[in-house]
Structure 1
Amino acid sequence: MSGIAAERIDRLASLAAAAARDGEDERAREYVRLARRIAERNRLRLPRELVRFTCDDCDAYLIPGRNARTRLRDGHVVTTCDCGNQARHPYR
């Protein structure tokens, strides 16, 4: 079962990215919500791409420069969504 769910999550992640690039923010948001629901139901981790490029508060697919600000700090990347939510991810 988890193989099918993982494939569906990957497909929804690519659809969300494409919708966000085309300016269809609400459609991208729905794809992200659906992918998160499937991952929770099947106890799967979200792909790193989906974790790094989605807002935890408003489920927006983040595109730096359009609806997100990305800054480098000491040892981590800070991504700020238009809604004000910040996400920090380490880097080397």
Structure 2
Amino acid sequence: MRRKKDIAKAKNIVLERIDILMNLADQEFKKGNKDRVKKYIQLSKKLAMKMRIPFPKKWKRRICKNCGSLLIYGTNSAIRINSKNCCVNILCFECNNIYKIPYIKEKKLKRKLKNNMVKK
């Protein structure tokens, strides 16, 4: 019983440290230290892997899967909405990789709400 509480505390500490490291990476990007930014990202990923927890979604989408750089929208990446494929495209300018995030769930919810309104 005691072990489960210790593991939960450790996971919370790791999540806080990941958040701190990613905020530091964001600050260093603004200063122009790209090497340090990649180091902070690597450290935060290693922490998540070591504790076997998923990387937080708010930070996961701001890291390029190909080159591992921090994506700051407007400076080294661009976001486009592709209505044809129902996805959000994030383009990294450093490696020209396109990261696609589908938004099918949102479309299904909207369609479901619309159908419920028509039936009433």
Which band: TM-score by shorter chain? 0.7 to 0.9
CA drift of 1:46 comes to 1.3
Opposite residue 19 of structure 1, the aligned amino acid is E
Could you tell me the TM-score, scaled by structure 1's length?
A: 0.87
Paired residue secondary structure (1:79)? strand
Equivalent in 51, 76, 81 of residue 60 of structure 2: 51
User: What does residue 80 of structure 1 align with?
Assistant: 91
Opposite residue 80 of structure 1, the aligned amino acid is L
Could you tell me the TM-score, scaled by structure 2's length?
A: 0.69
Distance 1:23 1:43 in 2: 31
CA drift of 1:22 comes to 2.1
Q: Compare the two structures and name the one with the higher strand fraction.
A: 1
User: What does residue 34 of structure 2 align with?
Assistant: 25
Structure 1 segments of 4+ aligned residues over 2 angstroms from their partners? none
Paired residue secondary structure (2:89)? strand
Distance 2:102 2:27 in 1: 26
State the number of aligned residues. 92
Unpaired stretches in structure 1, ≥5 consecutive residues: none
Q: Compare the two structures and name the one with the higher helix fraction.
A: 2
Distance 2:71 2:33 in 1: 12
Unpaired stretches in structure 2, ≥5 consecutive residues: 1-9, 107-120
Larger RCO (alpha carbons 8 Å, 6+ apart):
1
The answer on 1:10 being equivalent to 2:22 is no
